[in-house]
Homo-oligomer: A and B are copies of this chain.
Amino acid sequence: MKLYEHIGKKLFFRYDIPIPYGKLAENAAEAAEAAADLGEVVIKAQVLSGKRGKAGAIAFAADPGEARREADRILQMNLGDAGVSKLLVEEKLNIEQEFYLAITVDGTTRRPIVLVSLDGGMDVEEVPEERMIRWTVDPYIGFQDYMVREICRRLGVGGELRKEFASLIPKLYRLFREVDAELIEINPLAVTQKGFIAADAKVTIDDDALYRHPQLPVIREKTVLELKAEELDLAYVELDGDIAIMANGAGITMATLDMVQHYGGAPANFLDFGGGADIEKTAQALELLLGTNPRVLLINIFGGITRCDVVAEAFARVKETRGIDLPVSFRLVGTNEAEGRAILQKVGIKSFTTMDEAVRHAVEMDRPS
């Protein structure tokens, strides 16, 4: 779960990580009021998209009037499907230098990794390897002071800057562990007269650990359908095509999408309904897909924990109660295959045994010759 900047900064504040003075504004008047208090300000759309700067959703304002105008403008924007409902109005920092600092988990080493660079800002991805320090942390030993000394030596940093890093990184690491973060990123980490200030805050909490953090606000930036899928514990992503796809397992669902595209079709979604779903859940997944009004429905089941008869039964039930009148391409093999196939036949659906046949059939039906 990604956190909005202002929530990430609240966490920073709680861990004694310096942040700019700022206020949250929900309309232009509040933004102007904040500017009256803070002087020169920066106004930032509170959205989860990473490209606010390039999209123009960050603006400076010298006075309350300008703050009002810019706030008005930004509140009208649409950023990555989502509107802007909140603005963070902060004192404009006198930035001398922009650093980059992040902590995440590296899948390759299976350990936390601290990333530090003296070249922060918008183009941090282009920083050459030798100017980006990657420090892998033994989770049992944790982040120790000597690591700051060595990181700073490699960066060629001493004096006050080293003291700032020595104070900052251990706090950030503690936050990282204690809130079960997947990623904490400060970019830019502003160097000012007053020392380091986190000018931005990107914090992503591990979804699987959210149950341990009931105090965190729930943040969702999803479509209504995606939210509904989440409630049903389905992995669902909307796409632009016409062929609705449902399969059991993330890998095989991806492979199904790949094949649809390979044969010239366009997937309408990604829907992995997981393993071992019961009739009820399978039926709900189907209903959700049908609600998106696709042109063709492609179901690809390779039964393992998932039982073919359960999927077929769910399909039959939905067909009877709600009606399914679009073309369906159904692939069904694996556990209780014969039973499943029989159920489908009763409701007039012929099923395929291979993914290849099923996908080709779906694509053909989508583009009648």
Contacts and interface: CB of A to CB of B under 8 A. Distances in A.
A224 interface: no
A15 to B, nearest CB: 18
Interface string A129-168: 0000000000011000000000000000000000000000
A141 B138 CA distance: 12
Interface residues of A, number: 2
A140 B140 CA distance: 5
Interface string A28-70: 0000000000000000000000000000000000000000000
Interface string A113-141: 00000000000000000000000000011
Contacts of A141: 140
A112 to B, nearest CB: 14
Contacts of A140: 140-141
Nearest to A140: B140
A159 B141 CA distance: 36
Nearest to A142: B140
Interface string A255-286: 00000000000000000000000000000000
Nearest to A141: B140
A318 B141 CA distance: 51
A140 B137 CA distance: 14
Nearest to A138: B140
A140 B141 CA distance: 7
A70 B140 CA distance: 52
A344 to B, nearest CB: 47
Interface string A329-350: 0000000000000000000000
A138 to B, nearest CB: 9
Nearest to A139: B140
A225 B141 CA distance: 42
A173 to B, nearest CB: 16
Interface of A: 140-141
Q: Which 2 A-B pairs have CB atoms at the shortest separation, nearest pair first?
A: A140-B140, A140-B141
2 contacts: A140-B140, A140-B141
